[in-house]
Amino acid sequence: MSNIQKYKEFYKQSMENRDDFWQEQAKMIDWDTPFDSVLEYNNPPFAKWFHGGTLNLCQNAVDRHLADRGDQNAIVWVSTEEDKEVNITFAQLHKQVNEAAAVYKSLGVEKGDRILIYMPMIPQAVVAMLACVRIGAIHSVVFGGFAAHALASRIDDATPKVVVTADAGLRGGKTIAYQPLLDASYQQITITPPKVLLVNRGLAEGALGEGKYDWDEQMAKCAGQIVDPVMVESSHPSYILYTSGTTGTPKGVQRDTGGHAVAMRASMKHIYDLQPGETMFTGSDIGWVVGHSYIVYAPLLTGATTILYEGLPIRPDPGIWWSLIEKFKVSVMFTAPTAIRVLKKTGTDLINKYDLTSLRTLFLAGEPLDSETHRWISDALPGNVVDNYWQTETGWPILTNFAGIGLMENKFGSPTMPAYGFDVMLVDESTAEPVAANEKGSLMIKAPLPPGCMTTIWGDDKRFVETYFSRFGKEMYATFDYALRDEDGYYFIMGRDDDVINVAGHRLGTREIEEVLCKHSSVVEVAAVGVKDELKGQEVVAFVVSSDQTEAASESDLKALVSREIGAIARPKNIYMVSGLPKTRSGKVLRRAIRSMAEGEDPGDLPTIDDASVLESIIATIKKG
Ligand code: PRX
């Protein structure tokens, strides 16, 4: 059978014999109580996978490997920022998560409580996550590159009992002190300030005071303690991960426990093809979904070794990642296309310098992988390169090629075909009718979503249904991406249809940026858009209308405001001061026209525009630079 036939057969099983298919996958996970039904779906679109089963995620990721793999590395931490390397075996990880779980308990954390983790890429961050799920608490990791306002809105929404943080992160040799950012966010929150557990790396001031506890001190107090994993229902939330959408308020993507565990473990087998005992290197951050899934949960659930990397891909030189592959005999690597585009600039010498024969497959996801970069890296590496498309919401690939089934031929520019369990549909944006081959349509997924996908928005079931299942009824989940499918069944992603943008693989909402800019007293109105960038995929550009009453803010003040409140990744590349924004007669900002102009294109025909004269003034401002 050819690989494409094998794939089609496998995919068909997942659609036609859904329950048997997932029953089989669920065998790769340890259950404390077996589930009664594979899927309970009596309240669409809320899917309860493996209903009635109980399990513990940490027990599955750590404890169950102790007998056979106690001395195997679970985590290899490499920091090119601190010039350090630390190996942590499964036995050591077990000890650390037990102690951290004991610390949480001593701070009053119970099953169902939230713990917010605002940490750099250090092993304590992974320990903090696993210790959380060990006691049935729910973690919410906030990307260490986010700043005060972004942090505060997430703290307010998740209402955590404890915030786990560090004195500082490091990036490109620069120290980023976290405490001033956390303090600034505590000025903005409206809830009772959560307790703080602080990992002191000795990099910056980290004053301990009322409600603040030192990680090492607390761990020492709990040394040697064993905390039995709390068995939770399959649908019990394992974590919340905030992501951007159309409004300024981030959405807490909530993931269950049983479906998540099964999906992660199964994806290692069928998609990534990583065997227990092998090593995976995911160049991402634990603050993003790729980090949750493929730095932490999937490799550890598989009994594989995961490399946790703190640093840039180009320091001390752009060969650093390839050197790690050689040194640790990495079998599977995962990162974002931007990283490869950055490395591409330096050519192939630094790739050829290392023995990369252990690397079977490099997976790339998070933003469009342009054909040119896909071709370049495929030629440069001895192994395969796979583009896969998915979202924070799904937690694992929607469209991909399958190393575990047998790779099908790659088409550059295409993330190949739907993953088992995903009933993908391409429909006309206005009629919901399926589109023909090679025609652009909205990418939808027929409900129920498979195991591992978001189960709701934290604390807001209504928003979950209204956001994702309202376009064409509760039967269809909207991805907010356009796509087309060619005559061979290969999919091509054609970009988002909402205000979500993607800067260097980092998902950002333009509304959140606009809200922060509007905080400045001189700003009356703002439109932030994503414009094409060769390296980063997209960059932020903002158009600002200032008040006549106050002194206008400078461009650099406004850029600094965004860095301070959201983080450097959201800092606009350009800010243009304009006299007005193009709007419809009903007052809706014509964002698409603004984006076209920012990209140097004609805004096109705008029959609904209220005052066309603002267009000329915007074009003139952009031209001036
Ligand atoms: O627009 C799609 C784009 O990134 C969005 C999801 O981003 P995030 O929630 O951060 O999850 C990333 C998980 C890998 C999608 O809606 N996107 C993701 N992967 C691809 C992609 N666009 C094109 N090709 C991809 N492979």
| Spacing, Cα 63 to ligand 1 middle (Å) | 33
Return the bridge partners of 457, or none.
Answer: 253
State pLDDT tens for residues 97-117.
Answer: 999 999 999 999 999 999 999
491-512 core/surface letters (b: 16 or more CB in 10 A; e: else): bbbeebebbbbbbbbbbbbbbb
Q: Of how many residues is the chain composed?
A: 625
| Spacing, Cα 502 to ligand 1 middle (Å) | 8
Instruction: Tell me how many domains the chain contains.
Output: 2
Asked if residue 68 is part of any domain, the answer here is yes
Q: How far apart are CA 10 and CA 23, in angstroms?
A: 14
Confidence of residue 552 (pLDDT cuts 50, 70, 90): confident
Q: Which residues line ligand 1 (CB under 6 A)?
A: 243, 289-290, 365-369, 387-392, 415, 479, 481, 493, 496, 502, 507
- Identify the CATH number of the domain in which residue 304 sits: 3.40.50.12780
Q: Report which ligand 1 atom has the smallest distance to the Cα of 364.
A: 26
Helices (H), 409-528: 461-468, 510-517
- Positive or negative, the Cα torsion across 265, 271, 274, 276? positive
Residue 1 three-state SS: coil
State pLDDT tens for residues 290-327.
Answer: 999 999 999 999 999 999 999 999 999 999 999 999 99
Q: Verify that 245 and 339 share a domain, yes or no.
A: yes
Query: What one-letter code names the amino acid at 43?
Result: N
Asked if residue 464 is part of any domain, the answer here is yes
Report how far apart, in Å, the C-alpha atoms of 333 and of each of 207, 290, 344, 581 are: 38, 12, 17, 44
Q: Report which ligand 1 atom has the smallest distance to the Cα of 369.
A: 24
Joined together, the tokens standing for residue 621 give 């401002």
What is the per-residue pLDDT for 209? 77
Q: Verify that 568 and 598 share a domain, yes or no.
A: yes
| Spacing, Cα 13 to ligand 1 middle (Å) | 26
By CB neighbour count within 10 A (0-12 exposed, 13-18 middle, 19+ buried), where does 480 fall? buried
| Spacing, Cα 57 to ligand 1 middle (Å) | 26
Residue nearest to atom 26 of ligand 1 (CA): 389
In a 13 Å sphere around the CA of 230, the CA atoms on its Cβ side amount to: 22
In a 13 Å sphere around the CA of 609, the CA atoms on its Cβ side amount to: 18
Q: Verify that 99 and 181 share a domain, yes or no.
A: yes
Asked if residue 340 is part of any domain, the answer here is yes
Q: Report which ligand 1 atom has the smallest distance to the Cα of 392.
A: 9
Q: Verify that 187 and 78 share a domain, yes or no.
A: yes
Q: Which residue has the tokens 């229902």?
A: 233
Tell me whether the omega of the peptide bond preceding residue 45 falls within 30 degrees of 0, making it cis.
yes
Q: Verify that 407 and 508 share a domain, yes or no.
A: no
| Spacing, Cα 614 to ligand 1 middle (Å) | 34
Tell me whether the omega of the peptide bond preceding residue 451 falls within 30 degrees of 0, making it cis.
no
Residue nearest to atom 15 of ligand 1 (CA): 391
Cβ neighbours around 214 below 10 Å, total = 15
Return the bridge partners of 79, or none.
Answer: 84, 310
Residue nearest to atom 5 of ligand 1 (CA): 391
Query: What one-letter code names the amino acid at 288?
Result: W
What is the per-residue pLDDT for 206? 67
Confidence of residue 170 (pLDDT cuts 50, 70, 90): very high
Residue nearest to atom 10 of ligand 1 (CA): 507
Q: Please check whether residue 419 is in contact with residue 396, taking contact to mean a CB–CB distance below 8 angstroms.
A: yes
Which segments of 438-496 are extended strands (E)?
A: 441-446, 456-457, 476-485, 491-496
Asked if residue 497 is part of any domain, the answer here is no
| Nearest one of 501, 535, 534, 516 to 575, comparing CA atoms | 516
Q: Verify that 313 and 430 share a domain, yes or no.
A: yes
Q: Verify that 540 and 418 share a domain, yes or no.
A: no
Q: Please check whether residue 263 is in contact with residue 396, taking contact to mean a CB–CB distance below 8 angstroms.
A: yes
Count of helices and strands (H, E) across the chain: 21, 32
Q: Report which ligand 1 atom has the smallest distance to the Cα of 480.
A: 16
Q: What percent of the chain has pLDDT over 70?
A: 100
Structural domain span for residue 382: 3-483
By CB neighbour count within 10 A (0-12 exposed, 13-18 middle, 19+ buried), where does 605 fall? exposed
Residue nearest to atom 18 of ligand 1 (CA): 366
Q: Verify that 204 and 270 share a domain, yes or no.
A: yes
Return the bridge partners of 255, or none.
Answer: 239
Q: Please check whether residue 244 is in contact with residue 512, taking contact to mean a CB–CB distance below 8 angstroms.
A: yes
What is the per-residue pLDDT for 606? 87
Q: Report which ligand 1 atom has the smallest distance to the Cα of 506.
A: 10
State pLDDT tens for residues 355-389.
Answer: 999 999 999 999 999 999 999 999 999 999 999 99
What is the per-residue pLDDT for 571? 97
Asked if residue 334 is part of any domain, the answer here is yes
Q: How far apart are CA 284 and CA 339, in angstroms?
A: 10
Report how far apart, in Å, the C-alpha atoms of 358 and of each of 282, 324, 349, 539 are: 15, 11, 18, 35
Q: Verify that 127 and 236 share a domain, yes or no.
A: yes
State pLDDT tens for residues 186-245.
Answer: 999 999 999 999 999 999 976 677 899 999 999 999 999 999 999 999 999 999 999 998
| Spacing, Cα 505 to ligand 1 middle (Å) | 8
- Identify the CATH number of the domain in which residue 538 sits: 3.30.300.30
Q: Verify that 600 and 473 share a domain, yes or no.
A: no
Q: How far apart are CA 196 and CA 238, in angstroms?
A: 21
Joined together, the tokens standing for residue 180 give 């001033």
Confidence of residue 551 (pLDDT cuts 50, 70, 90): confident
Ligand 1 pocket test: pick from 288, 477, 493 the residue with the most ligand atoms within 8 Å of its Cβ: 493
Residue nearest to atom 3 of ligand 1 (CA): 367
| Spacing, Cα 413 to ligand 1 middle (Å) | 14
C-alpha 33, offset from chain centre: 31
Q: What angle do CA 83, 88, 90 make, to 5 degrees?
A: 165
Q: What angle do CA 267, 36, 138 make, to 5 degrees?
A: 55
Asked if residue 492 is part of any domain, the answer here is no
DSSP code of 434?
B
Q: Please check whether residue 235 is in contact with residue 202, taking contact to mean a CB–CB distance below 8 angstroms.
A: no
| Spacing, Cα 43 to ligand 1 middle (Å) | 28
State pLDDT tens for residues 127-147.
Answer: 999 999 999 999 999 999 999
Q: Please check whether residue 483 is in contact with residue 398, taking contact to mean a CB–CB distance below 8 angstroms.
A: no
| Spacing, Cα 508 to ligand 1 middle (Å) | 11
Asked if residue 491 is part of any domain, the answer here is no
Q: Report which ligand 1 atom has the smallest distance to the Cα of 393.
A: 9
What is the per-residue pLDDT for 243? 95
Q: How far apart are CA 584 and CA 239, in angstroms?
A: 41
| Spacing, Cα 367 to ligand 1 middle (Å) | 5
Strand pairing class (239-243; 251-255): antiparallel
Ligand 1 pocket test: pick from 444, 481, 532 the residue with the most ligand atoms within 8 Å of its Cβ: 481
Q: Verify that 64 and 96 share a domain, yes or no.
A: yes
Cβ neighbours around 379 below 10 Å, total = 9
How large is the average pLDDT for residues 24-43? 98
Q: Verify that 442 and 521 share a domain, yes or no.
A: no
Cβ neighbours around 23 below 10 Å, total = 15
| Spacing, Cα 32 to ligand 1 middle (Å) | 35
Ligand 1 pocket test: pick from 367, 490, 498 the residue with the most ligand atoms within 8 Å of its Cβ: 367
Q: DSSP of 550-610, one letter per residue?
A: SPPPPHHHHHHHHHHHT-GGG--SEEEE-S---BBTT--B-HHHHHHHHTT------TTBS
Residue 192 three-state SS: coil
Q: Report which ligand 1 atom has the smallest distance to the Cα of 391.
A: 11
Residue nearest to atom 7 of ligand 1 (CA): 391
- Return the H-helix or E-strand segment holding 219: helix 215-221
| Spacing, Cα 253 to ligand 1 middle (Å) | 15
3-state secondary structure 232-280: EECCCCCEEEEECCCCCCCEEEEECCHHHHHHHHHHHHHHHCCCCCCEE
Asked if residue 490 is part of any domain, the answer here is no
| Spacing, Cα 319 to ligand 1 middle (Å) | 26
